[in-house]
Structures are given as C-alpha cells and as structure tokens.
Amino acid sequence: MHPYFVVLFMTFGVLLLIFLWILYNSRKRRRIILKKIRRLYGQVPEREYSPGDIEAVSHYFRRKTGEAFYIDDITWNDLDMDRIFMLINQTVSSPGEDVLYSMLRIPLFDRAEIEKREKLICFFAENHQKREKMQILLSSVGKTWHGSLSDTILALEEAPQVNTGLHWAMLVLLILNLAALPFAPVYGFLSFIILGTVNIVFYYTGKDRIKIEAYLDCFSSLLKMLSLAEKTGTVDWPETKAHMEKIRQGRLAFRSMKKRAFFLTGKNNATGDPSQLLLDYLRMVFHLDILVYNSILKEVKGKTGEIIEILDALGELDAVIAVASFREMLPLWSCPEFTEWNSGHIRLLAEDMYHPLIRNPVANSIQMEKGILVTGSNASGKSTFLKNLAVNSVLAQTVLTCTCSSYRAPFLKVMTSMALRDDLSGGESYFIVEIKSLKRILDESRKEEPLLCIIDEVLRGTNTIERIAASSRILGVLDKPWILSAAATHDIELSYILSKKYENYHFEEEIQDDQVVFNYLLQHGRTTTRNAIRLLGVLGYDDMIVKEAARAAADFEKTGIWKA
C-alpha cells in the first residue's frame, strides 16, 4: 500500500478515536453534572469561598447601581448579607452568581416585576426535568476563576491589538510542510515535528502571546457564554420566552464572529470539555487564536450593552433556580404579601419569623404600626431580632422568600445602623462613624416613601447624658407616617421619653442554678429586670466587686448621685 494511504488511514483512525473519546467524555460529564445537580438541590451549598470572592462577585452589581434604591454597604454588612448570599448561592454558572448577588442588593418595588420573578421561581420549582435541563446548559459556562464574569468579559474593551505577521509566516511553513508530506513522508514528518516544536515554544515565549494572554482568557469566557446562548435556542418554554428573546437579540450582535471565534481559547476552561483540550494543542502548534485575535476584537468592542443583556438573561435563570433550591432547604418559608401604602398609615406584620443563619432558631412575631423600642440585657436577642426583621424585609423584595409563616407589608426601603466599627484607615472614631451612619438614614427619611430603619444602641459611642438626649431626639424625628423604625437600647430612660411615639418590647433572661438562661422570646413592654451586676457573680467575679456595684447602683437610684 502506498505510504500516502497508510498515513491517511492512520490519521483517520486517530481522528475517529478522538471523536469517540470526546463523545464518551461528554456523556460521562453530563451524567456527573446531573448527579451533582440532583444531590445539591434543596441542600446547603457546599462551596467554600476564598478571601475576595464576594467582593469580586459584587462588581457586576456595582455596575448596575444608578438612581434606584439599593441595599447600601452599611446595611449589607450590618445584616451579614454575604452569608445570606452564600446560603442561597446554589448557582452553577458565573452569570447566575453575579445576578443572584445583584438581585439581593436591588429590591423590587413594582408588582409586575414581583409577579414575573415569582412565576419563574415557581416554574423551575415545579418542573424538575426542565430545571435540570437548564442547569446542565448553564453549567457549560461554569464559574470563572476571576470572580465576576462581567469583569472578565468587559475587560475586552481595553484589550490591545497585536502584530500577526510572523505568526502568519509560521503557519504558511507548516501548511507547505503538510502539503509535501505525501511525497516524502519520513522527512516531512520530521520537519513537521521540528517546526511544530518551534511554534509551540514561540507560542509560550513570544511577546505577542504574553501581551494578550489575559485577554484570550477573557475571550474564552465570552465564547462560552455565547455558546450557551446558542444552546438555549433549543429551549421553547412559555415561562422563559422573554429571557430567550433577550438572549437571541444579544447573540445577533456577534453572529459574524461565530466561525472565527472557534479558534479562540484561554486557560479559563473550568468546564473540562475534552474537545477544548484537543483544540488547545492545535492552537499551540498553529497559533490559530493569535491569528484571529485582532479581527474578533473589532467585533466585540463597543458591545457592552449586548453582553450585559445576555449575561442578565442567563444569570436570572440560574439565580431563580437557586432561590427555588433555597425554598426547598428551609423548614418554614412564605411568599410575602405586599399591601398598599397611604400617607396616613404604615403597617408590617410578620408571624413566626426566624433568622435563616441560626441553627435551631427561636421564632418571634411582630406587628408594627409605629416605631418599636427593644430593651433587654446583652445576649438576650435584641440585635438578632432586629437583624431578622430587616433581613426578612430584604428577602421579601429580592428573592420573594421570607423565613416566617407570613409577611405583610408595603414595599419598604431598608436601612440599618448596627455593626459599626472605628474607621482606622480614615482616622475616624466610632462616634464619628456612627453619626455619619445615622445621618444617611435621617436624609433618606425626609423622602415621603415607606422606610424601615433599624438602629442598634443609638449613639453608643458617647456619654450617657448626651446619648439619651440626642438619641431621643433622633428617634423622635423618625416618628413619621411613612417610617417604621426599630431600635435596641440599654437606656430604659428612652422607653419612658418615647412612650407616646414608640411601642416597647423586651427580651429577658433568667438565672437558674448559677446559669444564665435566655429564651429569646420577644415580650411586650419594657424590661423590668436588672441582672447585669448579678451576672458578674454568676461568672465568678469577686464578691466584693459585685456587692459594691450593687450598693452603688442602689444609692444612685435613691439620690441621683454617684459615690466613689
């Protein structure tokens, strides 16, 4: 047999084996993904986060902030919303992760948008086969190594062009070598090995590749997203029609680069697609990605809007599936009911409300028609209750899932001032940080729009006299028809000063057999117990300290004068 045919048959056999190997691995990968999807749905997410992961994911949200109200950084950090995000984040793709985070930070204030999101969540919750099909499709994008997919893709706007002359010359030599292979198989094969080796070394050490390496990675992320966008064309469900149309419109902007884009890649191949491994070798030898880089870059620049449209649509599909999984995981949840608000009356009702981050939580109910003041000792549950109230209000207008048996309220803006710290980098004391935090709430309160504001220990950074004087006036200003304010305090005096404006609640503890016992149940009225000094004795403080402290407190209550 002529050597030409031997080489031809051998090449065909190798290609057939490679094709079968790719097919086998693709089916195997699909089975593995499906098994994982089924195992994790309705469970606590397994992902571990590295430092900076959440910050990177937040970049997509920060691109979307405009004049619309969003959960600001102080409120987000006060409520430990990073952990709430991690608890809900059962997404399988980077767009889903980006959009879920953004969803939690931008509450909805429109009933039509609420209904659309709820309909989509319920659709995937009730149709597991379609949900799994969508998750398998979304997993083909995977999660980028760089935190936010939007950062990766939109970096292409700043990408430089390269000089491809030498790369074209090397490609021509390789093609000529392959053309001569049938006429001199041995020498042709050896020369091809030499040329290929030189090209591979040049590929990794040449300044052109080094210059654009990070941007090739960005292209890889974009192409995986566009490939997913094309695959979703097979989805024909009425419930996702609007999303599919957005994806189709966005995809049209990139239709002319489809064939050339096949040759591009980067190292960000988190999906493990075996066909990409084969293409990597071809790119190393023939420099195909570098050769098409400039022309495809021209196609991408200036299309940020289309990229965001596709990312939005794909990400929301993944995010609402994560919300459906979150609901499945919860022992008790309810859809919020949004009431109309008129300028004369505002009301919030939450029954059996518990905090989603606490194991074995204690549920409490609350009905607010004006501000509330919560008193009680440290660790009795005041701050946790207030955070729980704010968290549920945020979840109500974002993922439409409250951790309570029922939630009824108008659309609310939520702002808090709770877990504050000294600003060491800015050189500001705790008190300065605190009054700035309160000022932003007071500024927002001037707008006649429903507002829920949560404050923990008003002005704790200053002395007792000034704290009571100023905090009573600040809380008094927040007594407005469009505001629901809730504050925790140790200053019992405030409960008397504000008794006509604020309703009093408290948490209490018991001392049983020298043990402090908290029941974490919200009680109506102001606290009547004073166990702080007694707790010193329970925890082993010297008897002299405990007795002298009790005597000094009793003397002050009688005379109004502190004695040494």
Distance of alpha carbon 117 from alpha carbon 99, whole angstroms: 13
Distance of alpha carbon 485 from alpha carbon 501, whole angstroms: 11
Helix, strand, coil content of the chain in percent (nearest 5) = 60, 10, 30
What pLDDT sits at residue 511?
Answer: 73
Distance of alpha carbon 287 from alpha carbon 285, whole angstroms: 6
Residues 6+ apart with CB under 8 A from 404: 332, 333, 334, 350, 351, 352, 353, 354, 363, 365, 392
Dihedral over Cα of 375, 379, 380, 381: its sign = positive
Residues 6+ apart with CB under 8 A from 386: 374, 416, 418, 454, 456, 486, 487, 488
- Rounded average pLDDT per 10-residue block, the chain, 564 residues: 62 71 72 89 89 88 83 95 96 93 96 96 96 92 71 81 80 78 72 79 74 76 84 88 90 77 55 60 77 82 86 95 97 96 87 95 95 88 94 98 97 90 58 88 94 89 81 93 94 90 90 77 84 75 84 76 70
What pLDDT sits at residue 146?
Answer: 59
Q: Which of 79, 81, 84, 85 is nearest to 419 (CA)?
A: 79
Torsion of CA 274, 276, 278, 279, to 10 degrees: 170
Distance of alpha carbon 207 from alpha carbon 357, whole angstroms: 50
How is residue 503 written in tokens? 């309703």
Residues constituting the chain: 564
Residues 6+ apart with CB under 8 A from 125: 131, 324, 327, 328
Task: Give the three-state DSSP class for 378.
Answer: coil
Q: Can you list the alpha helix ranges (DSSP code H) found in 408-519? A: 430-445, 464-477, 492-497
394 neighbors 526 (Cβ within 8 angstroms): no
Q: pTM for the whole thing?
A: 0.84
How is residue 259 written in tokens? 């064939």
264 neighbors 220 (Cβ within 8 angstroms): yes
* DSSP code, position 363: P
Q: Which residue reads 């991408």 in tokens?
A: 300
518 exposed, middle or buried (CB, 10 Å; 0-12, 13-18, 19+)? middle
What pLDDT sits at residue 420?
Answer: 66
Dihedral over Cα of 265, 266, 272, 277: its sign = positive
Could you list the beta-strand ranges (E) of 22-70: none
Distances (CA, A) of 231 to 11, 36, 134, 234: 31, 21, 10, 6
Distance of alpha carbon 267 from alpha carbon 221, whole angstroms: 10
SS (H, E, C) 347-359: CEEEEEECCCCCC
Q: Can you list the alpha helix ranges (DSSP code H) found in 301-416? A: 304-329, 382-398
What pLDDT sits at residue 490?
Answer: 85
Residues facing residue 237 across a β-bridge: none
Dihedral over Cα of 502, 504, 505, 508: its sign = positive
**CB-based burial, 80-114: b 16+ in 10 Å, e otherwise:** bbbebbbebbbbbbbbbbbbbbbbbbbbbbeeeeb
Integer Rg of the chain from CA: 31
Q: Which of 224, 223, 247 is nearest to 235 (CA)?
A: 247
Q: Which of 152, 139, 43 is nearest to 89 (CA)?
A: 43
Distance of alpha carbon 413 from alpha carbon 385, whole angstroms: 18
Q: How far apart are the first and last CA of the chain?
A: 112
How is residue 506 written in tokens? 């408290």
